[in-house]
C-alpha cells in the first residue's frame, strides 16, 4: 500500500461519541494505534503507543508503591489446582473465569494447573514458608504481572481475557495494621489516578455482594466515563485472616502464642488506559493528560517546497531545547501536508502542538495549539521550554477540572424508587440513594434497573429515612450506577 493510501486510511473519520459511544471507543483504540485484536479470542495486542501510556501510568504508580515501603517481586504464572481449592469462597468466586492447563510436553499432567486469575493462593503458600515470627512482619510485596480470566464479553483495555496489572500482597501482625494498609493503598490509588490521569474518583467500601471473593472488606475507587457509565479503577482488599487460615500462615507473636497473620491484596490494571480514553477523548480521538502522554509536545514544520532547508534546522534546535528541559517531544519530519499531520496528532491526543514556519522564524515566535481546548497562541522562542512546561501543567489541571465538573453534573440523589428508576433511565451517571444494606434488595435493584452499588463513600453523609427500594430503615448512602 502506498504511503498516501496508508495516510488516508489512518485519518478516516471516527464515529462520533454522541452517535455510538462504544463504536467511537473501538475506533479510537484502533486508529490511534493503541491496541489490536489478536488471534486468541478476547486477548489484545498492546501496540507501542498504547503501551507507552501504560508505562507512564505504571511508573507513576510503582514510584508511589515503593515510597510507602513496598518492594517488587515475581510469582509464577501457574498455580496447582489443589492450592486454589484451599480457599473455598475464593474458588467459588473465580470458578467461571479459570483457565486450566491439562497437558504439558505432550503428556497429561498428574494435577491440572491454573493460569493465575489472581495470586493469593501461590503467594499465601510462599508466605507460609517465609513467616515464622512477628519479627518477619510486615511483608510488603507487590508484583507487576499478567493474569488470565476467561471473560465471555471483552473489550480492549476495559475487559480482556488476559490483562496486565500490579497486585500487592501484604501480611501484618494485627487487624489494625492490615486495615491501615488497605486504606493507605486506596489513598495511593486515588492520588495516582487523579494526579497523573486527571480522572476524579469516588473512594468507598464495596457491598458484601460486590466485594472480592474471600475478602473481609473490599474498598474501591470509582470513576465516571464520558457516556455516564461507571468504571472500577482500582480495588484494595482487607483479607482478614481468611487466606492465612487457608494456607496456614502463622507466626509466633510477641506473647509467644501462635497466631495467623492479617492479610491484604490490591490491584490496578491496564483498564486505566481505557478510562483515560473514555473520560477525556472527543470526536477527534484521544485527549491525553500531559503526565501520561508519550509525547507531550509535537513540533510540526510549516512551509512550502523548501521547508526542509528554511524551517527544519530551527525546528530541530527547538526539539533539542525542549528535550533538554525534560519535555517529551517529537518532531514530525514526514513529507505530508500540515493539515494531515494536525489531524493525526489530534487523534493521538498530544497535549500541545508547536507550529513553526518561515514567518515564525522571522518573528522569533511559534504558534502553539492546545489539544484540550484547541486554543492557539503565539509564544516567543526565547524561554519557550519554560512557557510550555507551564502550559502543560495548565492542561493537566484543566482536564481534571473538566472531568470533575462532568461527574458532578451527572451525579444526582434519589429518595424514592420511582425517582431512582427515572434517574437510571439511560446512562445518567451516579445516583446516590439510601439503602437498607440487604443483599436481596440490592439484587432486586440490579435486576430491575441494571444499576449496581459502586461503593459507599468513606466519610459519606449519614443515611436519613428509608431505603430507596424496600422502605426499611436505611443503613447507608450508596452510589449506584450502570457500570463497565
Closest-CA residue to 234 (of 207, 268, 264): 268
13-280 and 297-391 agree in CATH topology: no
Specify the length of the chain in residues.
484
Q: Which CATH architecture has domain 297-391?
A: 3-Layer(aba) Sandwich (3.40)
Q: How confident is the model at residue 92 (pLDDT cuts 50, 70, 90)?
A: confident
CATH class of the 13-280 domain in this structure: alpha beta
Q: What percent of the chain has pLDDT over 70?
A: 98
Position 11 scores a pLDDT of 40
Whether the predicted pLDDT of 39 surpasses 90: yes
The whole-angstrom separation of Cα 330 and Cα 351 is: 12
Greatest Cα-to-Cα distance within the chain, rounded to the nearest angstrom: 84
Whether the predicted pLDDT of 208 surpasses 90: yes
- Cell triple for residue 189? 490509588
Angle subtended by helix axes 271-280 and 48-67, to nearest 10: 110
- Cell triple for residue 164? 496486565
The whole-angstrom separation of Cα 385 and Cα 352 is: 12
The whole-angstrom separation of Cα 245 and Cα 263 is: 10
Q: In this structure, are residues 279 and 225 in contact, taking their beta carbons and an 8 Å threshold?
A: yes
The whole-angstrom separation of Cα 385 and Cα 326 is: 9
Query: Average pLDDT in the 92-100 region?
Result: 86
Q: How confident is the model at residue 12 (pLDDT cuts 50, 70, 90)?
A: low
The whole-angstrom separation of Cα 167 and Cα 110 is: 29
DSSP output for 93-145: HHGGG-EEEEEETTEEEEEEEEEPS-SHHHHHHHHHHH--BGGG--EEEEEEE
Lowest mean pLDDT, pick from 97-106, 184-193, 211-220, 461-470: 461-470
Q: In this structure, are residues 189 and 233 in contact, taking their beta carbons and an 8 Å threshold?
A: yes
The whole-angstrom separation of Cα 396 and Cα 224 is: 18
Q: Average pLDDT over the chain, rounded to whole?
A: 94
Q: In this structure, are residues 185 and 191 in contact, taking their beta carbons and an 8 Å threshold?
A: no
Position 286 scores a pLDDT of 98
Q: In this structure, are residues 233 and 415 in contact, taking their beta carbons and an 8 Å threshold?
A: no
Closest-CA residue to 378 (of 402, 398, 362): 362
Query: Average pLDDT in the 100-126 region?
Result: 95
- Cell triple for residue 321? 531545547
Query: Average pLDDT in the 252-271 region?
Result: 98
Position 84 scores a pLDDT of 86
Whether the predicted pLDDT of 4 surpasses 50: no
Closest-CA residue to 158 (of 45, 269, 288): 269
Query: Average pLDDT in the 19-32 region?
Result: 96
Whether the predicted pLDDT of 171 surpasses 70: yes
The whole-angstrom separation of Cα 127 and Cα 249 is: 6
Q: How confident is the model at residue 460 (pLDDT cuts 50, 70, 90)?
A: confident
* Residue 13: Cβ within 10 Å count: 10
The whole-angstrom separation of Cα 114 and Cα 379 is: 58
Whether the predicted pLDDT of 129 surpasses 90: yes
C-alpha 74: how far from its chain's center? 21
- Cell triple for residue 24? 467511537
Query: Average pLDDT in the 242-269 region?
Result: 97
Q: In this structure, are residues 366 and 356 in contact, taking their beta carbons and an 8 Å threshold?
A: yes
Whether the predicted pLDDT of 6 surpasses 80: no
Whether the predicted pLDDT of 8 surpasses 50: no
pLDDT in tens, 279-308: 999 999 999 999 999 999 999 999 777 888
Please, what is the end-to-end C-alpha distance for the chain in angstroms? 38
Any residues with CB less than 8 A from the CB of 172 and at least 6 apart, and which? 137, 138, 178, 181, 261, 262, 263, 264
Closest-CA residue to 395 (of 377, 419, 414, 413): 377
The whole-angstrom separation of Cα 67 and Cα 457 is: 26
pLDDT in tens, 400-444: 999 999 999 999 999 999 999 999 997 789 999 999 999 999 999
Q: In this structure, are residues 354 and 300 in contact, taking their beta carbons and an 8 Å threshold?
A: yes
* Region for 450 from its dihedrals, namely left if φ exceeds 0, alpha if ψ lies in -120 to 50, beta otherwise: left
The whole-angstrom separation of Cα 19 and Cα 247 is: 51
The whole-angstrom separation of Cα 196 and Cα 280 is: 13
Position 76 scores a pLDDT of 97
Q: Give me the residue label for grid cell 437510571.
A: 424
Whether the predicted pLDDT of 85 surpasses 80: yes
Q: Is 289 helix (H, G, I), strand (E, B) or coil?
A: coil
Whether the predicted pLDDT of 475 surpasses 70: yes
User: Angle at the Cα of 388 (from 292 to 336), degrees rounded to 5?
Assistant: 80
The whole-angstrom separation of Cα 141 and Cα 70 is: 6
pLDDT in tens, 341-385: 999 999 999 999 999 999 999 999 999 999 999 999 999 999 999
Q: How confident is the model at residue 96 (pLDDT cuts 50, 70, 90)?
A: confident
Looking at CATH, the fold of the domain delimited by 411-481 is given as: Translation Initiation Factor IF3 (3.30.110)
pLDDT greater at residue 464 or residue 38? 38
Break the chain into its structural domains and give their ranges. 13-280, 297-391, 411-481
- Cell triple for residue 211? 466485594
Amino acid at each position: 500500500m502506498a504511503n498516501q493510501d496508508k495516510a488516508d486510511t489512518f485519518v478516516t473519520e471516527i464515529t462520533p461519541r454522541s452517535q455510538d459511544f462504544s463504536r467511537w471507543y473501538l475506533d479510537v483504540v484502533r486508529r490511534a494505534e493503541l491496541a489490536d485484536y489478536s488471534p486468541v479470542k478476547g486477548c489484545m495486542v498492546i501496540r507501542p503507543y498504547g503501551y507507552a501510556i501504560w508505562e507512564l501510568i505504571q511508573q507513576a504508580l510503582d514510584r508511589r508503591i515503593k515510597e510507602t515501603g513496598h518492594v517488587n517481586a515475581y510469582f509464577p504464572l501457574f498455580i496447582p489446582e489443589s492450592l486454589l481449592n484451599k480457599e473455598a469462597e475464593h474458588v467459588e468466586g473465580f470458578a467461571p473465569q479459570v483457565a486450566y492447563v491439562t497437558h504439558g510436553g505432550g503428556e497429561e499432567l498428574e494435577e491440572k494447573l491454573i493460569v493465575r486469575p489472581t495470586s493469593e493462593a501461590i503467594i499465601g503458600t510462599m508466605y507460609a514458608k517465609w513467616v515464622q515470627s512477628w519479627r518477619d512482619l510486615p511483608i510488603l510485596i507487590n508484583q507487576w504481572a499478567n493474569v488470565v480470566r476467561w471473560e465471555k464479553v471483552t473489550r480492549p483495555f476495559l475487559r480482556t481475557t488476559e490483562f496486565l496489572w500490579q497486585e500487592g500482597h501484604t501480611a501484618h501482625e494485627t487487624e489494625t495494621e492490615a486495615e491501615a494498609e488497605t486504606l493507605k493503598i486506596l489513598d495511593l490509588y486515588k492520588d495516582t489516578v487523579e494526579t497523573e490521569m486527571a480522572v476524579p474518583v469516588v473512594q468507598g467500601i464495596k457491598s458484601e455482594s460486590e466485594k472480592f471473593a474471600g475478602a473481609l472488606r473490599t474498598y474501591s475507587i470509582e470513576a465516571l466515563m464520558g457516556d455516564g457509565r461507571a468504571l472500577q479503577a482500582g480495588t484494595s482488599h482487607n483479607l482478614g485472616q481468611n487466606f492465612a487460615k487457608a494456607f496456614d500462615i502463622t507466626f509466633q507473636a510477641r506473647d509467644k502464642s501462635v497466631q495467623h497473620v492479617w492479610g491484604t491484596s490490591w490491584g490496578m490494571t491496564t483498564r486505566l488506559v481505557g478510562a483515560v480514553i473514555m473520560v477525556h477523548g472527543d470526536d477527534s480521538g484521544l485527549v491525553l493528560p500531559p503526565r501520561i502522554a508519550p509525547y507531550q509536545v509535537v513540533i510540526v514544520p510549516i512551509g512550502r517546497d523548501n521547508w526542509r532547508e528554511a524551517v527544519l534546522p530551527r525546528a530541530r534546535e527547538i526539539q533539542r531545547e525542549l528535550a533538554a528541559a525534560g519535555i517529551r517531544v517529537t518532531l514530525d519530519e514526514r513529507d505530508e501536508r500540515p493539515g494531515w499531520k494536525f489531524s493525526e496528532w489530534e487523534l493521538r491526543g498530544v497535549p500541545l502542538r508547536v507550529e513553526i514556519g518561515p514567518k515564525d522564524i522571522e518573528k522569533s515566535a511559534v504558534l502553539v495549539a492546545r489539544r484540550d481546548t484547541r486554543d492557539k497562541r503565539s509564544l516567543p522562542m526565547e524561554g519557550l521550554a519554560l512557557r510550555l512546561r507551564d502550559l502543560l501543567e495548565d492542561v493537566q489541571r484543566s482536564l481534571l477540572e473538566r472531568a470533575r465538573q462532568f461527574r458532578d453534573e451527572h451525579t444526582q440523589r434519589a429518595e424514592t424508587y420511582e425517582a431512582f428508576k427515572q434517574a437510571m433511565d439511560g446512562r445518567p451517571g451516579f445516583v446516590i440513594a439510601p439503602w437498607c444494606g440487604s443483599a436481596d434488595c440490592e439484587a432486586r435493584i440490579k435486576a430491575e434497573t441494571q444499576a449496581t452499588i459502586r461503593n459507599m463513600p468513606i466519610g459519606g453523609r449519614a443515611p436519613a429515612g428509608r431505603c430507596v427500594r424496600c422502605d426499611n430503615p436505611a443503613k447507608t448512602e450508596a452510589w449506584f450506577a450502570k457500570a463497565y
